[in-house]
Amino acid sequence: MKIIFAGTPVFAEIALEALIHSIHEVALVLTQPDKPKGRGLKLTASPVKNLSLMYQLPIYQPTSLKGTTEQEKIASVNADVMVVAAYGMLLPVPVLNIPRLGCINIHPSLLPRFRGAAPIQRTIYEGDKVSGVSIMQMDQGLDTGPVLLQQTYELKPFETSQTLHDKLARIGASALLEALDLLEAGKLTPVPQDPSFATYAHKIVKEEALMDWTKPAVQLDREIRAFNPWPVAYTSCKGENLRIWQAEVLPIEHSQSPRTILGFSKEGIDIAAGNEALRLLQVQLPGGKVLSAADFYNAKRDVLKVGEHLT
């Protein structure tokens, strides 16, 4: 089939590479305009653009798809289907109707659970044990279209947003190729989503990353893993922000108030939570590198004392 691909970050790049090596033709790639990044604010191409340049694919980077010029450009391709993966731009109804078979989306959750902007992070934040990828026929709603195909994935105990992203990206690429073959053969049956089971995955904001030690340790552990690699959970420690990259729950009973240091050794920093305790395993001070518990202990053992609060 002749395909228009619309995507921007690494999640989409992995799907695009699978398409490139498939029997299908990628006739046009839509991706976000280059954006300023880094201290020098140098214009930087998206991962999808870089991959497209490598394979000499036609690239189109409009700032919107609402205009007739943009829509005529898309229509001129005469594509069978448009594949969308983390494109980051709204597709208006006229664009949804341009390809012969419409537009399909690779969504990293088992719809209708976790529609919206941050399904991967919210999966971990909410403590789900199973996730997956949905290949969805797009309509004008936000992730509301009928599901064409799903593949599931069982989360590992220490799954982070980064590891889950990487696994779902690979699953998504595989599911996409399977769905395209079935779509071309007319063997896919769209299954409408049940709105009564729908949940929304709100966008992650930096303010969420500040740890509230009155919460149960299990929830704090989820938040640390959900916010890895961005925005990274943090707490105050002797007047400095301490970023927390990895921790584990200590299922122990204690009578101390939240934030109390219960133990401090090369094994980790044990902190009282609202219920049970949390052992910090990898941390980072402002301007420093990520430290193991042992390295942090060697640097701060004369500063942090058992029985004190972190602050």
Ordered alpha helix ranges (H), the chain: 10-20, 47-54, 68-75, 93-96, 119-125, 161-184, 217-226, 293-300
Q: Which of 46, 48, 41, 44 is nearest to 20 (CA)?
A: 48
Q: State the burial class of residue 7 (Cβ atoms within 10 Å of its Cβ: 0-12, 13-18, 19+).
A: buried
CA–CA distance, 297 with 64 (Å, rounded to integer)? 51
pLDDT digits (tens, 9 = 90+) for 154-172: 999 999 999 999 999 999 9
Q: Cα separations (Å) of 236 from 212, 239, 263, 292, 310? A: 11, 6, 17, 18, 7
C-alpha 71, offset from chain centre: 29
DSSP string, 274-286: SBSEEEEEEEE-T
pLDDT per position as a tens digit, 221-259? 999 999 999 999 999 998 899 999 999 999 999 999 999
Domains of the chain (ranges; CATH) run 2-201 (3.40.50.170), 206-300 (3.10.25.10)
What are the pLDDT tens digits along the chain (311 aa)?
999 999 999 999 999 999 999 999 999 999 999 999 888 888 999 999 999 999 999 999 999 999 999 999 999 999 999 999 999 998 999 999 999 999 999 999 999 999 999 999 999 999 999 999 999 999 999 999 999 999 999 999 999 999 999 999 999 999 999 999 999 999 999 999 999 999 999 999 999 999 999 999 999 999 999 999 999 999 999 889 999 999 999 999 999 999 999 999 999 999 999 999 999 999 999 999 999 999 999 999 888 999 998 87
C-alpha to C-alpha distance for 311 and 305, rounded to whole angstroms: 11
What is the token pair recorded at 191? 């299954």
Q: What is the CA radius of gyration of the chain?
A: 23
Beta bridge partners of 134: 107, 150
Question: How much is the pLDDT for 41?
Answer: 86
CA 177 vs CA 58, 192, 211: distances in Å = 21, 21, 41
Predicted model pTM = 0.95
Distances (CA, A) of 221 to 30, 114, 211, 294: 38, 20, 10, 20
| 3 state SS for 229-250 | CCCCEEEEECCEEEEEEEEEEE
| pLDDT value of residue 280 | 98
- Residue 252's φ and ψ, nearest 5 degrees, are -120, 150
First-residue to last-residue Cα distance in the chain = 60
